[in-house]
Structure 1
Amino acid sequence: MRRFLILCLVLIAPLSAAQITSKEFYTKLERGIDQIISPVDKNVHIGIEILSLKSGLRLYEKNAHKLFVPASSVKLFTAGAALSLLGPDFTFETNLLTDGSIDGSTLKGNLYLQGSGDPSFSLKDLEQMVLELRLRQVEKIEGDLIVDNFAFDDVRWGPGWMWDDTQSSCYAPMNALTINENCLRIWIKPAEKVAQPPKVFAFPRTRFVRIENHALTDKKKSTLTLESNLKEGRNTVEIIGEIPQKSALQSHLIPLQGSHFYAVTLLQSILKKSGITWTGKIQVREVPDSATSLATNRSSSLAMLLHKAMEESSNLYTDLFFKKIGQVASSSQGTWKNGKEALHRHLEVDAGLDTSDMVILDGSGLTRYNLASPHQFVTYLRWIYEKFPYSAEYLSALPIGARTGTLKNRYSKDLPLLRAKTGRMTGITSLCGFIRTQDQEPLAFAILISGFTEKTSKYKTEVEDAICTFLGNLSRE
């Protein structure tokens, strides 16, 4: 950290003197970045492109046309495609409907819970919908509880996702009827005595999930393992290992399978708490055209949802956006395939990119099948900056260096504004976005790095952050 900061200051110092010529500026810029990346292991692949959005001139490039696995930087494409195809004011709707009618205090007919891919739909939203049903004086349902999650197909994981990562909340399986981001929050507190099982709390409490606590409290430093599996149609979370007796309260977010059943199980519980009884079964089928609406939950606008998607780098949000644009563009059930087609069409037709050698198969960047070049990222970012009608909404959703999201603890508040999207996987890191120099000259840049065995933090700090610090200190004066 100290080494690259000193290096950046040394490299910038000559630029702060009198006005320099364009040739000298380019020489200093090239030499500065080359000195940052020269210590990197030659087996590591680095691709960089930097473009001035003021002059339109390319300031620096290295392996700019070579293809890299971009990880979460793919979300830059997804966000633009979603804004373009859906519009910034678009909202997702989750509906309670019936194919029957209300007679006094009885709903005579089935109650349908229909999702449309809202990534933000929560238990609180569902409770509000049931309250609306209760305000209609409904106390009994003579019919079934039916889930309609057919807005999207039932392929929950994207092509090329790593099967051994599916225990992470980052890989929560997706569904058109998502609730609480398809995860369960579990808190674990050590017991008062050694060799006793720790105390476990879960939210929301639901019979859809069974918790098997095999862990013990121990005096020594130790670790817990939480594994979620589908057993006999129920999600089972096994807690294994030891928790130190002096450990603070631990919090874990566990991904759940079968999120549509998760939602309808929570609906059952809320109906019961609200004093509404029902006599039927739980089923899965589409809402008939003749059904009438009883309650509707609308999400925040897409422009607002993008803030969480980009600042927190939410995989669930961006993959749901991906299938949604596929659904809208094809007027059919959203799939990975038509999501890919809609995204590529946006890149080609709207942004004018040559996607002949580009591969984008999901919206989050979780798949290692994705391939894109630094030049393709910079070309797209230039289009966003210069021609995209929703550039303001797009730019405001990006993390800000030293201030928000995944860049909150990177860069410096004392330097000009950095807005960029991070990407990270084992052996892969990327940073693509916009930065201003000391002269407030706007730049678009893409840095993609792969093929290393050290910790990702090394390349984030010594390459990505070093280059951004160098650019933020840069001046033509």
Structure 2
Amino acid sequence: MLSLRFRQLILTVCTSSLCSALVPSDAIAQTVLPVKLATSLQKAGVPASAISVMVLPVNASNADAAVLAQNADLAMHPASTMKLLTTLVALEELGPNFRWKTQILSDAPAATEVLVGNLYLRGGGDPDLTMQKLQEMLRDLRNRGIRSINGNIVLDRSYFQPERSDINMAPFDEHPDAYYNVVPDALLIHSNISSITVESGNDNVETRLLTPLDNTLIINQLRLNKKPCATWEQTWQAPDVSVSDNAAINITLNSSFPRNCKITQHLNILDRNQYITHLIRGLWQELGGSWQGKIVDGKTPSSANLLLEHQSETLADTIRIVNKHSDNAMARSIYLSLGTESNPLLNTNSAQAADARIRAWLFRHGINDAGIVLENGSGLSRTEQISARQMAALLLAGARSNWYPEFASSLPVAGMDGTMRKRLKDSPAAQNARIKTGTLKDSVAIAGYVRDVNGQNWVVVAMVNTDAAGKARTALDTLINWVASGRDDAANLFEP
């Protein structure tokens, strides 16, 4: 218990709006917010009730050993820190060397130059099936001597169930064409992204389609304005897409654009089968091939012969992209793969199976799953929830995992890379904190590992849920620095 004199000291330095956050009920080590953190929250207009915090040693036996805890058992929206749960469980359940497979099969008889029959493009859930990888597969097909395909190309997405969860899904926000909003399927090629460059001078504005889509036109109706280049998004409008009588895709750019400005937009604007059709035609023609047929949906018959297979990067390599750059579509693919791989022979809902598999993992590690809500495993969700205590317990389990090096190396390093590259530079935390960040309209969060000036490693978790959450990012950086600095003693803790 705290002495009366020390409680009076606390009351002397705290303001009325912060006292509830600063005055502990029993032990200062467990319930008192550092004064700089509390002050930063106050300046941001964020009440102490809106933040959930846990700080504890990495070598703690459980999450009850916290040196700082505030609202730690509240279920909070974690934003993209939820990716830590998905990626750690995937490492443990699938292994760091797990790879996804994309295959091309055929039901046609063997042929030298002309393949008469269907080709089957069977997706295996590769989270990063880029245009370049598809091009490599088509080149391998061409190197087998096949020049002409006289049949349809059948897209088999049955690895995930349902096969197209993106269809009829309500938009997450007002930017459905943004890359971060892409909903994966088992055969998501290049994230369905069309890249368009817009470049203007004093008197003209030019556009160029970077993605090699066959028979696709950019119709430039952009007007020049006098705004600074940095404000180009203020006048940008989503392109209009139409299909002409000759099956050409017309992408019309409207609105206005600043003078002497250059940007590249990566947009999810085309129907997926339409996108794959024009992409394959464009790439196959570049390789000197011809194709008489169309894209259709279907399943691969058991009698089809495997022509070639592409294997993805390892899971360990993949989660470095997911966590460092907070890639939502890739995280969602990993989440669905957890469900599918739990029993590949069962035609079960992949998301539901992933939910069950993650909860089973939590149970085996002694982590209470009460209050945890899973939707897609990426944190891009209005419903996903987890408490700071549960997240801290997850990170403790990660530190004890055989795959801790792979997991930790996937996290952004403060002041160095990923989503933390511009944060905490020239601070005690720079290069000493591996932190996954999270941001939604009403939620900001950090979770990860911090090494302090004494060489001790800590688990640090903080989530802020409020309409003003975006203003609390500085406060979260203050918390990370407080840990990295060695957690000031009681006198300095309350220093204004």
What is the TM-score with the length of structure 2 in the denominator? 0.82
CA contact (8 A) 2:76 2:387 kept: yes
Other-structure match for 2:309 = 296
Does structure 1 residue 53 correspond to structure 2 residue 61? no
Query: Residue 444 of structure 2: which of 429, 448, 460 is its match?
Result: 429
Q: Corresponding residue for 1:239?
A: 253
Q: Say whether 1:415 aligns with 2:428.
A: yes
Identity %, equivalent residues: 21
Partners in 1 of 2:91 and 2:249 — Cα distance? 35
Which ranges of structure 1 fall in alignment gaps of 5 or more residues?
1-10, 12-25
Q: Is the 8 A contact 1:177 1:259 kept in 2?
A: no
Q: Which residue identity does 1:227 align to in structure 2?
A: A
Do the aligned residues in 2 keep the contact of 1:54 with 1:441 (CA within 8 Å)? no
Distance in 2, matches of 1:220 and 1:389, equals: 54
Q: Spell out, residue by residue over 1:415-444, the C-alpha distance to the aligned partner (whole angstroms, 9 max, x if none).
A: 352111100011210001111222111111
Amino acid at match of 2:101: E
Aligned mates of 1:380, 1:178 — CA distance in 2: 30
The one-character-per-residue Cα deviations of 1:108-158 (angstroms, maximum 9, x if unpaired) are 321111211112112221221122112221122232221112212211279
1:357 corresponds to which letter in structure 2?
Answer: G
Q: CA deviation at 1:35?
A: 4.4
Contact 1:403 / 1:413 at 8 angstroms: preserved in 2? no
Q: Which residue of 1 aligns with 2:37?
A: 36
Aligned to 1:20: none
Match of 2:179 in 1: 169
Corresponding letter in the other structure for 1:401: A
Structure 2 residue corresponding to 1:278, chosen from 253, 268, 291: 291
Aligned to 1:21: none
- Structure 2 residue matching 1:103: 3-state secondary structure: coil
Does structure 2 conserve the Cα–Cα contact (< 8 Å) formed by 1:73 and 1:365? yes
Partner letter of residue 243 of structure 1?
Answer: F
Residue 120 of structure 1, aligned match among 121, 128, 131? 128
Q: Write the letter of the residue equivalent to 2:352.
A: K
Candidates 198, 202, 205, aligned match of 2:209: 202
Q: Does the C-alpha gap of structure 1 residues 312 and 287 become closer, same or farther in structure 2, counting only changes over 3 Å?
A: same
Q: 1:160: Cα distance to partner?
A: 7.8
Counterpart mapping for 1:240-255 below 5 A: 240-247=254-261, 249-255=262-268
Unpaired segments ≥5 residues, structure 2: 1-12, 14-26, 490-496
| Aligned equivalents of 1:420, 1:468: Cα separation in 2 | 9
Q: Does 1:393 align with 2:406?
A: yes
1:359 positional shift: 0.5
In the other structure, the counterpart of 1:225 is: 236
Counterpart-to-counterpart distance in 1, 2:248 and 2:299:
23
CA distance in 2, matches of 1:316, 1:274: 29
Relative to 1, partners in 2 of residues 1:413 and 1:63: Cα closer, same or farther, differing over 3 Å?
Answer: same
Question: How has the CA–CA distance of structure 1 residues 337 and 68 changed in structure 2, closer, same or farther, with 3 Å as cutoff?
Answer: same
Matches of 1:459 and 1:283, distance apart in 2: 49
Partner of 2:141: 133
1:443 aligns with 2:443: no
Deviations 1:228-250 (Å, cap 9, x if unpaired)?
A: 56656997644222112222x11
> What is the Cα deviation at residue 389 of structure 1?
2.1
Residue 144 (1) aligns with residue 152 (2) = yes
| Distance in structure 2 (CA, Å) of the matches to 1:275 and 1:35 | 65
Superposition deviation, residue 476 in structure 1: 8.6
Report the Cα distance in structure 1 between the residues aligned to 2:480 and 2:226, rounded to whole angstroms.
Answer: 45
| Secondary structure in structure 2 of the residue aligned to 1:434 | strand
The corresponding residue for 2:112 is: 104
SS in 2 for 1:389: coil
Q: Does the Cα contact within 8 Å between 2:33 and 2:68 map onto a contact in 1?
A: no
Q: Deviations over 1:280-302 (max 9, x none)?
A: 33211111111112222211111
Give matches, 1:458-469, under 5 Å: 458-461=471-474, 463-469=475-481
Aligned to 2:16: none
Q: Distance in 1 between matches of 2:208 and 2:104?
A: 30
Call closer, same or farther: CA 1:70–1:98 in 2, change over 3 Å: same
Instruction: Using the TM superposition, name which of 362-371 and 112-121 deviates more.
Output: 112-121
Contact 2:336-2:354 at 8 Å conserved across structures: yes
Q: Partners in 1 of 2:420 and 2:170 — Cα distance? A: 27
Shift in Å at residue 337 of structure 1? 2.5
Tell whether 2:398 aligns with 1:384: yes
Compared CA separation, residues 81 and 28, structure 1 to 2 (3 A): closer
Q: CA RMSD in A?
A: 2.7
The one-letter code matched in structure 2 to 1:470 is W
1:372 aligns with 2:377: no
DSSP-derived class of the 2:133 partner: helix
**Corresponding residue for residue 23 of structure 1:** none
- 1:371: Cα distance to partner? 1.1
Aligned length: 444
Instruction: Show CA shifts across 1:245-286 (max 9, x none).
Output: 222x11111114533442343122222222222333321111
Please tell me whether the aligned partners of residues 325 and 334 of structure 1 are also in contact (alpha carbons under 8 angstroms).
Answer: no
Q: What secondary structure, in the 3-state scheme, does the structure 1 residue paired with 2:409 have?
A: helix
Over residues 356-396 of structure 1, what are the superposed CA-to-partner deviations in whole Å (9 max), with x where a residue is unaligned? 2211111211111011110000011111112x221111111
Provide the TM-score with structure 1 as the length reference: 0.86
